[in-house]
Amino acid sequence: MSRSRIVLGIVAAIVVAGAGVFAWIAFGPGPMDFAGGRAVPLAKYKAGSPTGVPADFASADPVERGKYLTIAADCQACHTAKGGTPFAGGLAFRLPFGTIWSPNITPDKETGIGNWTDAQFLAALREGKGPKGRLYPAMPYASYTYLTDADALAIRAYLATLAPVRRQTPALAFSWPFNQRWLMSIWGGLFNPNQRFEPNADRSPAWNRGAYLAEALGHCGECHTPRNLAQALDNRSKYAGAVAAGWRAFNLTADKATGVGGWSDAEIAQYLSQGHAPGRGTAAGPMGEAVDLSLSKLTKSDIAALVTYIRTVPAISTPDQPQPKTALAPATHALAAADQHAPLGKKIFEGACIGCHAWSGSGTLTGLATLNGTRAVNDPDATNVAQVIIQGASRSTPQGQSVMPAFGHAYSDAEIAAVANYVTARFGAKPSSVTAEQVAKLRKAN
């Protein structure tokens, strides 16, 4: 065989392999494909109505209904700067190649969306086509694409009732080639199915309602589903957990040890609606925000529907996130392994943390402070432990507001790393080895 033929052969092999990888990435399953069954047009699904507002809101006026859907879609979380006016945009998304700021979606004519037509709104929301160019997928249009026209326009109608806020969105600060918005049309072409929600005829109305809430409105997968090389959701590992915005979103699959397969329905429901389930953990960071702004305001029936849907996501085991250890730590301070693993961490823990978390980890004052059994302290990367130490957390419960202060300001990266390592070693299944450098990165991630 001549040399040139060998080279040609190799090139061909690479092209074929490349195409295979490309096809693997581009033609992966959709978010609801795991369920099998028959997808039917909405109008054909007679068992119930999975879209729109729940029965409790059936007689509410259109603005109230739009508000409920806006809350369920959690637009506010991203379209509000830290400490800023809701929906006026300005929250920074810091990515490796630059920063993008969420836009102002109040009805201000110049700086908001007051001048948009309904068609422009729908195109932006569901196709990522803004009037001034393509949107980056930081906006979850690949999820919102499943929204019905009616629901999308109800959201639009609600946003139109907000007080207009004049607030210019800062210009994109991405490096080349990422600053080329048109490239996003390729991305959208490949990864945005651009189709409306179709119920699964073989599933119950509750399941379909849950699917609509989780996929079209709540866009749970945007954080909980890992991404592929092209930064699109890889539904082959649907809900298997991922790190997003510097926080770990945990495995939500039915896996008993590492997912939520071992949780009762009531526990999942409580976690979603209150951000806390005893012995399972307390939501903080982006999940805490999702609970505060969105999930806690959903009706009981909608929470139940979400539980029904989430329960059916097939188990995927993620051994890098071991099964949470639930046993209490000793009630006295000495625990040789943990003490040696992070002596500086112990020193800080016994001063600043002990008052609420106790040596046993059992949260002597409020169940929200219980460490044992939580996903966070059982994450061997201690991502969320470190983040909670840096940023603190705040949960409103039926018993009142419960706050963990943010220690990031006064404690060094090394100290935060040491506390995280001590906490995982003392209360978790596997000690973490977070470094000061990693903490510095986590600080910058949000």
Q: Residue 444 is inside which H or E element, if any?
A: helix 436-445
Annotate each residue in 293-332 with x if it binds another protein (CB under 8 A) or - if it does not, as one string. Answer: ---------------------------------------x
Which of the residues 371 through 400 are near another protein (CB under 8 A)?
392, 399-400
Q: Which of 111, 185, 270, 364 binds another protein (CB under 8 A)?
A: 364
Instruction: Name which of 378 and 421 has its Cβ closer to another protein.
Output: 421
Alpha carbon distance 185, 187 (integer Å): 5
Would you list the DSSP string of 32-95?
TGGG-S-B--GGG--S---SSS-GGGTTS-HHHHHHHHHHHTTHHHHSB-TTS-TTSB--EEEE
Near another protein by CB under 8 A, which window of 193-201, 285-293, 300-308, 348-356? Answer: 348-356
The yes or no reply on residue 405 touching another protein (CB under 8 A) is yes
Q: Does 409 bind another protein (CB under 8 A)?
A: yes
Q: Please report, as residue ranges, which positions from 113 to 132 form the binding site for another protein (by CB under 8 A).
A: none
Pick one of 407, 420, 421, 423: the residue that binds another protein (CB under 8 A): 407
Residue number with CB closer to another protein (121 or 427): 427
Neighbouring CB atoms inside 10 A of 62's CB total: 12
Report strand pairing: 98-101 vs 173-174. antiparallel
Q: How far is CA 39 from CA 127, 162, 202, 307, 383, in A?
A: 21, 37, 8, 21, 38
Q: For residue 82, state whether it binds another protein (rule: CB under 8 A).
A: no
The 417-436 site mask, x for binding another protein (CB under 8 A), equals -------------------x
Tokens of 137: 């997928």
Residue 156 CB contacts under 8 Å (≥ 6 apart), including other chains: 66, 118, 121
| Closest to 377 measured CA to CA, from 434, 330, 432 | 432
Minimum distance from residue 165 beta carbon to another protein (Å) = 14
Closest distance of CB 59 from another protein, Å: 26
Judged by CB under 8 A, the residue of 173, 344, 429, 445 near another protein is 344
CA dihedral 286, 228, 234, 138 (to 10 degrees): 40
By CB under 8 A, tell whether 25 contacts another protein: no
Using DSSP, state whether 9 is helix, strand or coil. Answer: helix
User: Among 1, 336, 410, 444, which residue interacts with another protein (rule: CB under 8 A)?
Assistant: 410
Residue with tokens 């651009």: 194
The owner of tokens 């052969």 is 9
When asked if residue 279 is in the footprint of another protein (CB under 8 A), the reply is no
The nearer residue to another protein, 42 or 440, going by C-beta atoms, is 440
Tell me the C-alpha distance between 44 and 53, whole Å. Answer: 19
Least distance (Å) from another protein to the CB of residue 445? 18
Q: Determine whether 66 is exposed, middle or buried from the number of CB atoms within 10 Å of its CB (0-12, 13-18, 19+).
A: buried
- Residue 353: CB minimum distance to another protein, A: 8
* Residue 206 or 348 with smaller CB distance to another protein: 348
337 is an interface residue for another protein by CB under 8 A: no
Separation between Cα atoms, residue 160 and residue 86, nearest integer Å? 13
Q: Which stretch binds another protein (CB under 8 A): 95-103, 219-227, 360-368, 379-387?
A: 360-368
Answer for the pair 253, 345: CB distance below 8 angstroms, yes or no.
no
Q: What backbone torsions phi and psi does residue 431 show, to the nearest 5 degrees?
A: -65, 145
Residue selected from 406, 429, 430, 445 as contacting another protein according to rule CB under 8 A: 406
Residue 81 interacts with another protein (CB under 8 A)?
no
Number of residues that bind another protein (CB under 8 A): 32
Residue 356, interface with another protein (CB under 8 A)? yes
**Please, what is the minimum distance in Å from the beta carbon of residue 172 to another protein?**
25
Closest distance between another protein and the C-beta of residue 407, in Å? 5
Q: Does 352 bind another protein (CB under 8 A)?
A: yes
- Of the pair 1, 334, the CB lying nearest another protein is at 334
- By beta-carbon proximity to another protein, the closer residue of 124 and 353 is 353
Class of residue 267 by CB neighbours under 10 A (exposed 0-12, middle 13-18, buried 19+): middle
CB of 154 to another protein, least distance (A): 27
CA dist 439 and 413 (Å) reads: 6
- Under rule CB under 8 A, residue 245 binds another protein: no
Question: What is d(CA 72, CA 68) in angstroms, rounded to the nearest whole number?
Answer: 6
In contact, 157 and 62? CB cutoff 8 Å: yes
Per CB under 8 A, residues contacting another protein are: 332-334, 344, 347, 350-352, 354-356, 359, 364-366, 392, 399-401, 403, 405-407, 409-415, 436, 440
